Amino acid sequence: MSIFSAIGSALSGLDAQSASLSAISNNISNASTVGYKQSDTDFESLVNAAGASNTNSTAGVTTTNTVDVATAGQLQTTGVNTDLAINGDGFMVVNTSATPSSAGYLLTRAGSFRQDANGNLVNAAGYYLQGQALPAQGATSVAGSLTALTTVNVGNLTSTGSPTTAMTFTANLSSSDTAYAATAPAPSTSSLTYYDALGSQQSLQFQFTPTVPAASGDANSNTWTMNVYDSLSSSPTTPIGSATLTFNGTGANAGTLASVTPVGGAGSYDGTSGNFTITTANGQSLPIDIGALNSASGMTQFAGSYQTTQLSQNGAGFGSLQGVSIGTTGVVTASFSNGTTRPIYQVDLATVPNPDGLTQVSGDAFQLSNAAGTAQLALPGQGAAGTIDAGSLEGSNVDITTQLTNMIETQRAYSSNAMVIQTSEQMLDTINHLIQ
């Protein structure tokens, strides 16, 4: 190798160490960047195209920068529901546009998503989170391809409400009220809300009137008239449901329902299920669980005052969006002011055979490439895909200690290459002096 070859090799060494220092500098500056993947510098020796067997054929060094995509950073808890981290393998699918195009799909683990002005979830780099829009029941399978995904939008969601389809009303009626009295005691009354087909809140009023004995000295009648009134009714004093309730006065089942007899066709009763079914003023069929015959868990007649024991109903009124949450399986669920929840999107994860083969783009995202292999979508927690950890972010995978050590090594190597050039110059000066 000639002196000029030595200078050329040293110059390539300076360039290589400069490239290494640039990568180290970039890693250190992004040590706190969410989802950042560190760059590593690989060195390769250069060889002359044709060198004699007795001649040194090396011609310096070149470098290649690679990105360590496969190594995950540490998860950091943020408490923000739309911050997403992946616990395990895989990438979130994003798009450069809110109206996805096939050319704009990218993969990322930088999950700091927030709503934009239109309700789309977009991360700090301006990439839009992609997922499957879910039907009301929430059941779904993994999307067939990236193009089957759409931008996750959580704006302008409302709950239309749902009608009441089941209700429970039970109470204890005072046994002393059916004893002999000159006049019948006042009715016992309670109300219970229900929701109609439009999600509007309505009310049923339950009224229980005791049947007193016919004459002094007669035994307690243990019989009551139950009337149900509807706030929607055009004739609020006319019951939409009416029945005679007879209770067992003695024996093992004392105090429980012995029979329920509908009056005037206003309702029907099933002694096995305990449902007294009425039709509301707007034609809504509504089963009310008042308890099965001979059951202590339904309507009862024991000593003591009147009091309700079970009041419940399903259904809900109109509700506005209160917030969204994302589960470990990637289901985005909306919560509404009426207490209901609804799954709205499924976030699928993408996996590739060789993550380090992905092409890095700005914003801590990656393009697919031949070196990475074909992307496969999977539901979080299934197959090779990890789970989603909402309320967390993945930090960078940069180890500051390692980078500082690499920087010292790079500085020494750079100085050594510079010394080679300086020594070569001195040798050339020596030759020049000989010639003179």
The mean predicted confidence, pLDDT, of the chain is 89
pLDDT band per the 50, 70, 90 thresholds, residue 436: low
What pLDDT sits at residue 425?
84
What pLDDT sits at residue 1?
56
| Cβ-contact 178, 220 below 8 angstroms | yes
What pLDDT sits at residue 216?
63
Portion of the chain with pLDDT greater than 90, in percent: 65
pLDDT band per the 50, 70, 90 thresholds, residue 99: very high
What pLDDT sits at residue 49?
60
Residue 301 zone, left/alpha/beta (φ > 0; ψ -120 to 50; rest): beta
* Mean pLDDT across 337-345: 86
pLDDT top residue among 365 and 51: 365
Query: Could you give the angle at which helices 3-29 and 400-435 cross, rounded to 10 degrees?
Result: 160
pLDDT band per the 50, 70, 90 thresholds, residue 381: very high
Q: pLDDT digits over 2-47, tens only?
A: 787 888 888 888 998 999 999 999 999 999 999 999 999 989 888 7
What pLDDT sits at residue 57?
58
Closest by alpha carbon to 153, among 107, 101, 113, 109?
113
* Mean pLDDT across 85-112: 94
In sequence order, what are the residues at sequence separation of 6 or more whose Cβ sits closer than 8 angstroms to the Cβ of residue 433?
Answer: none
Q: pLDDT digits over 383-393, tens only?
A: 899 999 999 99
What pLDDT sits at residue 138?
66
Q: Say yes or no to pLDDT of 242 above 70.
A: yes
H/E stretch holding 22 reads helix 3-29
Q: What is the pTM of this model?
A: 0.69
Q: pLDDT digits over 36-91, tens only?
A: 999 999 898 887 665 545 555 567 888 888 899 999 999 999 999 999 999 999 99
* Secondary structure (DSSP) of 359-393: EEETTTEEE--TTT---EEE-TTSTT--EEEETEE
- Residue in this structure with the two tokens 């590593």, named with its chain if needed: 40
As a whole number of angstroms, the distance between CA 297 and CA 258 comes to: 13
* Mean pLDDT across 187-192: 95
Token representation of residue 418:
């510079």
Q: Say yes or no to pLDDT of 162 above 90.
A: no
Q: Say yes or no to pLDDT of 143 above 70.
A: yes
